[in-house]
Amino acid sequence: MPVRHPAPLVPDDALEAWVDRHRCRVPSEALDVGLFVVELDRPWHDTPFLLQGFTIDSQDELQALRANCSFAYVDLDRSNPAAVHALRVRITERPARPTPTQDLPRTLAPRADLRISATTRQRFRQFAGPREAPIGRGVLARIRSLVGRPLASAAMARHADPGFARHARRGLLPSDLQATPHPVARSFDDELPRARRAFAFGEESLRGLLDALRAGRTAELSTITTAAYALTDSLIDNPHALLWIGRTRDADFNAANHGVKVALYLVALARHLGLPRRQMAELAMVGLLADIGKVHVPQALLDKPGMLAADEFAEVKLHVRYSLDAVSACADLPDGVELGIGQHHERLDGSGYPGGLKGDEISLYGRMAAIADSFAALITPRAYAAAASPQDALMNLCEWAGSSFDEPLVEQFVQTVGMFPVGSLVELSSGEVARVVTLPVARLQRTRVLVLTEADKAPLERPREVEAIGTHESGGAVGPSQAAYVRIVAGLPSGSHGLAVNDPYAQGRVEPLSARS
């Protein structure tokens, strides 16, 4: 993992002498009420702090920060001046001078305000790199070696858990796993109707299961299994259509919607890695079932803004156990699915839950589920925080790759979804705002985008398709053959410029490309 170089505190009387006023690393023991925290030393969703960016305004929050983190990053300009002055005094051990005090209102920062280090941005560019042909056997073998052990090794699971040993003996994840090529079999346009049906069926099936659990009935997984294969088959034939449908459902956030999205990202990653269809469907089941236990967690806790109290955070973490309890009666549930459900909040450094597993104790399914679940959560608007842009979400994963998340899998996930993922909003070099429709699957192809606004951001009455050059495609200056194409210059969070989340293709309002690639 690359060494990070955070901005240090500089002992100087002038506040301007602080190296980076917006991202200043502060030891947890030096934190105090009134400081504005923009980043922690671990992923936000692994702590009681549900907001990405907040002013410390109570002793309870201060103690929770010190208990959960070794250090945090503080934005000095957004902090209370008295707290900044006192912080400098504590760090430099200089006598304090009187500083005017003021009220300490809580400021809620959107997730897109998360500061990402320059090292992480460079790492993200390397991970996103030029898009290559589908992964082959040799690369899959390298990933297995980087992950650190054969896929069938019982060392990937807790020694006390015999389920994974049975799972390995049945050959579900054999050590000599062969990569399965999944060529694109259907065009985006041809696949869209089936993708819509698969997504809707996945939501309907999961919603029915959640309703049954709320009513105290036993979980019935036959419909969930059917939905998992429907999602898998659509993604195998065309990886972009279903991802497009998922992103156009951002405004419909609910437990069923989130579960289907996690399943999509898991299957897309599995497809990229070359896993066989059955294992792809099992990973879809992991995504669908991982959070079903939240039906037994008070909704007020799941939507609570600000910091969770210790007992509240403990209650939220119980959703993993509730999910496992709900599926435990299903004798035909593959062991790998149960592992993925139980480990999707575990982290390589042992900071996760419920078992505090480390390194080799976490299965491949668990590692993949942690990445997909975190990404889906970050790019989705929540009651307590705005959505991050997909680029910021991916860089957040890169920031913790090697510590919380498996680094080779994070790299492959970035390659899977791309620097500008399907369905994400982007700004073009023309000033127009567009939504990414498909990514290139061959060297001579371009990114297909749907332009939604004029250059002045005024919405178009009828969106139009164009081909664009993404950063990962050109890799440098625009050559003569590229001059006719607009370029993608930035990714945007969902809902930017007031653009509604919808599917213009379903409404028949799209002006298509004159010539399809």
Residue 330 lies in a domain: yes
Please name the residue ranges forming H helices in 240-363. 241-247, 255-273, 277-289, 299-302, 310-317, 319-327, 335-343
23 token code pair: 């991202």
Q: In terms of domains, do 343 and 395 share one? A: yes
Q: Are residues 216 and 313 in the same domain?
A: yes
**Is 195 in the same domain as 331?**
yes
Q: Among 417, 448, 481, where does a domain finish?
A: 417
Residue 6 burial class via C-beta count within 10 angstroms: exposed 0-12, middle 13-18, buried 19 and up: middle
14 residue type, one letter:
A
Q: Is 487 helix (H, G, I), strand (E, B) or coil?
A: strand
Q: Is residue 252 part of a domain?
A: yes
Q: Assess whether 277 and 207 both reside in one domain.
A: yes
Q: How far is CA 390 from the centre of its chain?
A: 8
Same domain, 79 and 97: yes
pLDDT on residue 73: 85
Would 453 be classed as within a structural domain?
Answer: yes
309 lies in a domain?
yes
> Do residue 359 and residue 441 come from a single domain?
no
- Do 364 and 437 share a structural domain? no
**286, part of any domain:** yes
Tens-level pLDDT at each residue, the chain (517 residues): 333 334 444 333 333 334 467 778 888 888 999 999 888 877 777 778 766 678 888 888 888 888 878 888 888 888 999 998 888 877 765 444 333 333 333 333 334 334 466 676 667 766 776 544 344 444 444 444 333 333 333 333 322 233 332 323 233 344 556 778 899 999 999 999 999 999 999 999 999 999 999 999 988 899 999 999 999 999 999 999 999 999 988 766 788 999 999 999 999 999 999 999 999 999 999 999 999 999 999 989 888 877 888 899 999 999 999 999 999 877 678 889 999 999 999 999 999 999 999 998 999 999 999 999 999 988 887 766 777 888 888 988 998 899 999 999 999 999 999 989 999 999 999 999 999 999 987 766 789 999 999 999 999 999 999 999 875 544 444 444 444 678 998 888 878 898 888 889 988 888 887 534 3
The domain total for the chain is 3
Helix (H, G, I), strand (E, B) or coil at 161: coil
Residues 444 and 493 in one domain: yes
Q: Which of 15, 18, 26, 24 is nearest to 66 (CA)?
A: 26
The answer to whether the beta carbons of residues 208 and 223 sit under 8 Å apart is yes
- What single-letter DSSP state applies at residue 405? B
Same domain, 344 and 479: no
Question: In the structure encoding, which two tokens stand for residue 26, read together?
Answer: 């502060």
**Contact in structure between 285 and 227 (CB atoms under 8 Å):** no
Question: Residue 211: inside a domain, yes or no?
Answer: yes
What is the per-residue pLDDT across 42-55, written as a single tens digit (0 to 9) for each?
777 777 876 667 88
Three-state SS at 166: helix
Note the Cα 174 to chain centre separation in Å. 28
* Predicted local distance difference test score (pLDDT) of residue 331: 65
Among 386, 417, 448, the domain boundary falls at 417
Q: Phi/psi of residue 24, each to 5°?
A: -105, 120
* CA–CA separation, 423 and 203 (whole Å): 19
Do 329 and 451 fall into the same domain? Answer: no
In a domain, 135, yes or no: no
Indicate whether 259 belongs to any domain: yes
The CATH number of the domain holding residue 354 is 1.10.3210.10
pLDDT score for 92:
66
Q: Give the domain range for residue 459.
A: 425-507
Q: For 267, phi and psi rounded to 5 degrees?
A: -70, -40
Considering the domain architecture, whether residues 211 and 316 belong to the same structural domain is answered as: yes
Comparing CA positions, the residue from 512, 480, 489 lying closest to residue 431 is 489
Say if residue 232 is in the same domain as residue 269: yes
Q: Is 231 left (phi over 0), alpha (psi -120 to 50) or beta?
A: alpha
35 neighbors 87 (Cβ within 8 angstroms)? yes
Domain boundary (371, 401, 417) is at 417
